[in-house]
């Protein structure tokens, strides 16, 4: 693959839309997923195993859905010590950042009454860890550490097995280090359905998070009324805004690294410096992998235009490289994660930010995976003297045609007690 240089013309929002349009539509799998979901709901473990054999083990009889404790222990013991040390540091960092985002309860006191805003964790959660092209122990870290920081009591992990029927040892070892309660050999839409409804082996959960293929995302969409989800994650993307004097090699490696995510990944560098983009194109030509990722280098007139383009594109990852680009950081409002003077890969593994991020422009309204996905808010209302509130609200209730709503408030006015 190659990196094409384009010159931005017209509105930045239009250029952003054109860049987004380069990512092919994944197509609809809604009907196929609906069949899988209904099958798992009706047949439980049998359906999960059947789809595992069909899609994951390629005809080989699957192993038990739940991974045994001795298999987990063996995987943990077999981890490279350097990998173990890295996972342990990542767990610590991600946990610290997640705990910083947990909110304390707050009481708003009105004098005659009060409303307390309370936040509590869900009881049971699951983390989906993709298989397929590569193992992702880092996704175990992002999901389990964040759920634990949120206060979730029970956290399960699932991941699709390979043709040999097994989950990669690095994923299993990470599950042990992260403290997952149970690990399941299952993936695809059937895994989401199993966690939504429960089976003979798999306990139902309140929330499921984590990236996955089109079938996984569609299953999350169809079941989002039954279980909580984080987001609908599409292909990964990176947009970098670079000054003309940005060091070439780190920038090139950041783009090449993002292209490793494969088909549909969008890799974009924006700069007002034509010489930098020319040099970058030549450097990328040597090592940009042929993964069907989409790479574009965009020549823009100014940094202000680059900012507007980035805000319209709403990237999953945004890099600001060079003094002028870095000055834009306080004005960024639409990005899954912003990397100021550094590379996205640190966020993928070790910095403490979460790598499960809104994709496909969803950073306009969605957030990175955080404790809020495992916690829910509700209010606790106490009213010492309801008189003023009742007199103010009763006319509204009657205007809406709800006479007994009005009466239920008015009866609590102290002068009316006992009537």
The residues assigned a catalytic role are 316-317
Q: Is 314 left (phi over 0), alpha (psi -120 to 50) or beta?
A: left
From residue 89, give the alpha-carbon distance in Å to each of 83, 145, 148, 376: 10, 11, 15, 28
Sheet holding 294-299, edge to edge: 4-7, 294-299, 266-271, 237-242, 317-321, 337-340
Helix or strand run (H / E) with residue 30? helix 30-43
Query: What number of other Cβ atoms are within 10 A of residue 412's Cβ?
Result: 15
Sheet holding 113-121, edge to edge: 106-109, 113-121, 375-383
CA distance linking residue 315 with residue 337, whole number of Å? 8
Helices and strands per DSSP (H, E), number in the chain:
16, 14
Q: How many residues does the chain have?
A: 419
Question: Do residues 338 and 320 lie in contact, with contact meaning Cβ atoms separated by under 8 Å?
Answer: yes
Residue 252 C-alpha from the chain's centroid:
26
C-alpha radius of gyration, the chain, whole number: 25
Question: Do residues 291 and 265 lie in contact, with contact meaning Cβ atoms separated by under 8 Å?
Answer: yes
Instruction: List CB contacts of 113: < 8 A, sequence separation 6 or more.
Output: 381, 382, 383, 384, 385, 386, 389
Question: Do residues 6 and 271 lie in contact, with contact meaning Cβ atoms separated by under 8 Å?
Answer: no
Measured in degrees and rounded to the nearest 5, phi and psi for residue 357 equal -125, 160
Instruction: List CB contacts of 73: < 8 A, sequence separation 6 or more.
Output: 176
Query: What number of other Cβ atoms are within 10 A of residue 173's Cβ?
Result: 24
From residue 170, give the alpha-carbon distance in Å to each of 23, 142, 156, 211, 304: 31, 15, 16, 18, 44
């Amino acid at each position: 693959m190659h990196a094409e240089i384009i010159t931005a013309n017209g509105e930045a929002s239009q250029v952003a839309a054109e860049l987004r349009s380069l990512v092919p539509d994944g197509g609809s799998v809604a009907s196929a997923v609906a069949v899988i979901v209904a099958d798992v709901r009706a047949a439980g473990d049998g359906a999960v195993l059947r789809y595992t054999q069909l899609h994951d083990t390629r005809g080989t009889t699957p192993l038990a859905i739940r991974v045994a404790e001795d298999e987990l222990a063996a995987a943990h013991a077999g981890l490279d010590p350097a990998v173990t040390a890295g996972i342990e540091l990542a767990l610590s960092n991600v946990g610290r950042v997640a705990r910083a985002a947990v909110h304390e309860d707050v009481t708003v006191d009105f004098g005659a009454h009060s409303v307390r805003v309370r936040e509590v964790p869900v009881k049971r959660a699951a983390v989906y860890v993709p298989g397929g092209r590569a193992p992702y122990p880092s996704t175990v870290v992002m999901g389990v550490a964040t759920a634990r920081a949120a206060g979730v009591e029970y956290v399960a992990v699932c991941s699709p097995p390979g043709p040999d029927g097994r989950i990669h040892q690095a994923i299993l070892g990470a599950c042990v280090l992260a403290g997952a309660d149970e690990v399941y050999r299952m993936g695809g839409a059937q895994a989401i359905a199993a966690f939504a409804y429960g089976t003979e082996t798999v306990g139902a959960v309140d929330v499921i998070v984590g990236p996955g293929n089109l079938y996984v995302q569609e299953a999350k969409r169809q079941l989002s009324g039954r279980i909580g989800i984080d987001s609908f994650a599409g292909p990964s993307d990176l947009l970098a805004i670079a000054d003309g004097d940005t060091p070439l090699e780190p920038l090139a490696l950041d783009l090449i690294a993002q292209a490793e995510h494969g088909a549909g990944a969008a890799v974009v560098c924006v700069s007002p410096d034509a010489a930098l983009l020319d040099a970058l194109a030549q450097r990328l030509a040597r090592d940009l992998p042929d993964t069907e990722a989409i790479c574009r280098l965009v020549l823009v007139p100014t940094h202000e235009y680059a900012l507007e383009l980035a805000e319209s594109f709403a990237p999953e990852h945004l890099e600001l490289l060079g003094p002028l680009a870095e000055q834009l950081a306080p004005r960024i409002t639409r990005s899954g994660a912003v990397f100021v003077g550094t590379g996205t890969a640190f966020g993928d593994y070790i910095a403490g930010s979460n790598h499960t991020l809104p994709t496909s422009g969803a950073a306009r309204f969605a957030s990175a995976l955080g404790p809020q996905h495992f916690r829910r808010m509700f209010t606790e209302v106490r009213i010492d003297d309801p008189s003023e509130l009742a007199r103010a609200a009763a006319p509204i209730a009657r205007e809406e045609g709800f006479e007994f709503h009005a009466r239920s408030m008015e009866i609590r006015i102290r002068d009316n007690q006992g009537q």
